[in-house]
Structure 1
Amino acid sequence: MNTNPFDDDKLREECGVFGVWQADAAAALVALGLHALQHRGQEAAGITSWDGHHFHSHRAMGHVAGNFDRDEVIRGLPGRVAAGHVRYATTGDTVLRNVQPLYADLASGGFAVAHNGNISNAIKLRHDLVRRGSIFQSTSDTEVIIHLVATSTYRTLIDKFVDALRQVEGAYSLVCMTPEGMIACRDPLGVRPLVMGKLGDSTIFASETVALDVVGAEFEREIDPGEIVIVTESGIKSLKPFPAIHARPCIFEHVYFSRPDSIVAGSSVYDVRKAIGAQLAIESPVDADLVIPVPDSGTPAAIGYAQQSGIPFELGIIRSHYVGRTFIQPGDQVRHLGVKLKHNANRALIAGKRVILVDDSIVRGTTSLKIVQMMRDAGAAEVHMRIASPPTRHSCYYGVDTPERTKLLAHKLDVGGMTDFIHADSLAFVSIDGLYKALGEARRADVRPQYCDACFTGDYPTRLTDQEDLPVTDQFEMLAERAL
């Protein structure tokens, strides 16, 4: 049982992908890259390799550590080409058959795919494919892509691949393996990130730049929205087969998903989060004694808030980094005490003080309620909450496991009601305009936004076919899968 009071009420970080083309011990490099991307998915991990003759796969539930740090596992993944995936389920059950990379034998040969994102018309496509005779082996939306490639009437694999993607809605960053080469691509909106790097003569693809850093690769560039990059023995080829449209990368990558030591769209995630905190201090000042981050994701924004406000930054919540899953304790009272194994208030610092807690978001509100109570129990005179994102009022359908809209606290209550719910003395969120300002942009009402900010605004950049067109029973089925 996970007793972490801060992880049970976060938006889950979709997935992470990592690919290596032509490197010695490619699978070992992929395992290292996946370690750096572990924050993007903690439910399962998988690696598929190609040795020039055969594909080899190892997939497992749980973290990269413990599954891919054993010599016998890496030895079972030979070859100079490999791709890997860390997963948090946004569609499909949390079972081994849904763990990626997914693999299939097509008429053109083996085909493996690792996917970060979510296909927002996957249920409709799946129903159509099943009626035409396709037999699915998983409940993952990613398998839809494999079937679309397999059933395409185009001649070459790349043409089949493009044909498949033309039928797909939503968000995807893909790393695919074939006997001829490796394919990496982003959807035309560029919702999910994907970068390319070099390690000597080897080509690396990763969800974030931090994974390149970990394996010693040099960042080359981001994969452009709508771009397909093909790496073969003949070299690197770039295709842009889709009509150019206004890109809408996910703004929440800057707020929470990406690691603070990554570079996203040319900007340091750490610097952006500090800037958001500073903007929050300008918009929502409060007279207090301490600025305290909610660990760990609230730390950069809290630093920015403290620097802008002149109020001291202090670590008022101490996190233990040496506690994994705790034993299942008998009884609610002992179970509640298990919370303090992972996070505990710095009582000597907090007692009698007016504190400002800075966090990245509020989802259901249960986490914020626990944190505020922790401060009160430690003797805080006042507890003020400041959030480094606008209120999350809408569900995400592009690869983030968001609760149903009716379970989002900001959908049910206004800021005053939310303040009462979490028992804080005050609560404030950075404005949507302030968030864009921290990113060096200006959100204008007369033009399309520069980012996908649908979780805050409800402005979805694509059709949501599975929400709009399917019978109600199928919509309930999809929502049930998303919640797993």
Structure 2
Amino acid sequence: MIKLVDMKVEMHEECGVFGVFNHFNASLLTYRGLNALQHRGQEGCGIVSSDGKTLKAFKGEGLVKNVFKKKDIDVLDGLHAIGHVRYSTFGGGGIHNVQPFLFHSQNGQLGLCHNGNLVNATKIRGYLEQQGSIFQTTADSEIIAHLIKRHRGEMMNRIKESLLYVEGSFAFMFLLEDELYVALDKQGLRPLSIATLGDGYVVSSETCAFDAVGATFLRDVLPGEVIHISKDGLNSSFYSEDRKHQMCMMEYVYFARPDSQIEGINVYQARKNSGKVLAKEAPVEADIVIGVPDSGMSAAVGYAEASKIPLELGLIKNKASDRTFIEPTQALRENAVSLKLSAVRSVIKDKRVVLVDDSIVRGTTIKQLIQLLKHAGAKEVHVRITSPEIKYPCFYGVDFSTYDELISAKYKPSEMKDVIGAHSIAFISIQGLIDAVGRKEGAYCTACYNKKYPTYLYETIIDANKQVK
């Protein structure tokens, strides 16, 4: 969810969800699955488990490996579990906003976790509070639990009717005592897949987590679909007839792990293809191609292959470091950049370098990398980016913080190269990226590139002096 502060936009988190149904090691498998999804959020994590009668929860702030100890996993007994990794901006941090949430009522218990962002959350929350609802958190995810509580009948119908009230992006998991429901927004903006494991099922934001637990991919959850998982198997329904395939393009560009499959497309291959397309769209005379670890490496391979310029390992990553893009403050991002990478002087000295990266959001990392390469003796540094220019905020759960921090909202590429200190800079075209990813349907959410938002934005609308209307 987004709130307006001095007419600036604060973005919600990009998160990961993971669930297990009908496995004797459900909580342990969920722990392993969350570790595989750690790149999607590092500020907090949690697990809710069920033994068929009682739901139990454990969560904390920090990395999965630091929050959970063996004794915590042992307490979370049962055959079913759901888990969540979180990166927060909207609603702030704090343990009260760490998911999954666990609700108790006279009709039973409900565990809930969510990846995405509800663009009409403030409007719905205000309505529910007027009707007497009392919220325990500031996260938009809690809204759906209050909506479900207000509906009657079978749980499938209650969930479907509740989802009709909300707009935006979401991959929801709902755990009851002996049932699991999963739901995806009608635009299909967030990834969500199902796998089998023995006689049970596994659900995850990314397929890479299936490998971590030995599960076998079954299929993707479809836009607008609600799936009921029980001892009788899978039962599918749709909460809306107005459905589209508009997967967030940044999943392919940056967020997902390269070994994940998103709607049948391998992320590594999509990134490699984008490098090939970019080499054709923006060629340059150079001596070596260098990729920015880790997410720029796949594209660098493609750029080198298509351009016939040798690929070299010119930047070395400190494996103890984390991604700078999802550091919550600018000061932390800048400090992290200085610690995470070092240049190989013998490779770079006196060379004309093509530096390939996946995206430029704030410009923090790329500027420091160019300085690093020049300090190591690079003769020229030509920046090539396998994402189009990010000019507009994302309202669906990706942390593009404010217009002031979106460097492409302020500068044209011809101006940006001087700001960051590059000899040249070029971005892949939107159509080039679509062709590189290659899904047959061809529909993606590209709003951060071209302002074509797939939903109405409700209270996230900015005044006429800003770029989003």
Label 1:404 to 1:264 Cα distance change in 2 as closer, same or farther (>3 A). same
Question: Distance between the aligned counterparts of 1:336 and 1:147, measured in 2?
Answer: 40
Measure how far apart 1:173 and its partner are: 0.6
Alignment of 1:126-165 (within 5 A): 126-152=125-151, 154-165=152-163
Measure how far apart 1:340 and its partner are: 5.1
Question: Distance between the aligned counterparts of 2:74 and 2:440, measured in 1?
Answer: 51
Contact 2:353 2:380 (8 Å CA) reproduced = yes
Contact 2:334 2:364 (8 Å CA) reproduced = no
RMSD: 2.2
Question: Distance between the aligned counterparts of 1:362 and 1:78, measured in 2?
Answer: 44
Equivalent position amino acid for 2:27 in 1: A
The match for 2:406 is 408
The match for 1:24 is 24
Question: Distance between the aligned counterparts of 1:362 and 1:322, measured in 2?
Answer: 23
Question: Distance between the aligned counterparts of 1:128 and 1:96, measured in 2?
Answer: 26
Measure how far apart 1:158 and its partner are: 2.1
The match for 1:455 is 448
Contact 1:433 1:442 (8 Å CA) reproduced = no
1:340-376: CA deviations, max 9, x gaps?
5431111111111100111111111121111111111
Measure how far apart 1:441 and its partner are: 5.7
| SS of match in other structure, 1:65 | helix
Alignment of 1:412-423 (within 5 A): 412-423=410-421
Equivalent position amino acid for 2:279 in 1: A
The match for 2:104 is 105
Equivalent position amino acid for 2:457 in 1: L
Measure how far apart 1:251 and its partner are: 1.2
Measure how far apart 1:12 and its partner are: 9.1
Greater shift after overlay, 364-373 or 453-462? 364-373
Label 1:341 to 1:256 Cα distance change in 2 as closer, same or farther (>3 A). closer
| SS of match in other structure, 2:425 | strand
Is residue 209 from structure 1 mapped to residue 207 from structure 2 by the alignment? Answer: yes
| SS of match in other structure, 1:60 | strand
Contact 1:12 1:40 (8 Å CA) reproduced = no
The match for 1:372 is 370
1:208-253: CA deviations, max 9, x gaps?
1110111000000001111111011222211113114332111111
Identity of aligned residues (%): 43
Measure how far apart 1:14 and its partner are: 0.5
The match for 1:342 is 340
| SS of match in other structure, 1:370 | helix
Alignment of 1:306-385 (within 5 A): 306-322=304-320, 341-385=339-383
Is residue 225 from structure 1 mapped to residue 223 from structure 2 by the alignment? Answer: yes
| SS of match in other structure, 2:247 | coil
Equivalent position amino acid for 2:209 in 1: A
Question: Distance between the aligned counterparts of 2:13 and 2:48, measured in 1?
Answer: 22
Contact 2:48 2:58 (8 Å CA) reproduced = yes
Label 1:342 to 1:102 Cα distance change in 2 as closer, same or farther (>3 A). same
1:301-350: CA deviations, max 9, x gaps?
0000001001111111111214579xxxxxxxxx9998654311111111
Question: Distance between the aligned counterparts of 1:131 and 1:280, measured in 2?
Answer: 52
Question: Distance between the aligned counterparts of 1:398 and 1:338, measured in 2?
Answer: 26
Question: Distance between the aligned counterparts of 1:374 and 1:284, measured in 2?
Answer: 23
Question: Distance between the aligned counterparts of 1:31 and 1:337, measured in 2?
Answer: 30
> What are the ranges of 5 or more consecutive residues in structure 2 without an aligned counterpart?
1-10, 324-332
Measure how far apart 1:102 and its partner are: 0.9
1:367-412: CA deviations, max 9, x gaps?
1111111111111100110001000001111111111123211111
1:174-227: CA deviations, max 9, x gaps?
111012400011011110010000001011100111101110000000011111
Label 1:454 to 1:341 Cα distance change in 2 as closer, same or farther (>3 A). closer
TM-score by length of 1: 0.88
1:407-454: CA deviations, max 9, x gaps?
2111111111111110100000000011011122699xxxxx600110
> What are the ranges of 5 or more consecutive residues in structure 1 without an aligned counterpart?
1-10, 326-334, 444-448, 476-484
Question: Distance between the aligned counterparts of 2:419 and 2:12, measured in 1?
Answer: 23
Question: Distance between the aligned counterparts of 2:438 and 2:35, measured in 1?
Answer: 31
| SS of match in other structure, 2:319 | coil
Question: What stretches of structure 1 move > 3 A for 4+ residues in a row?
Answer: 322-325, 335-341
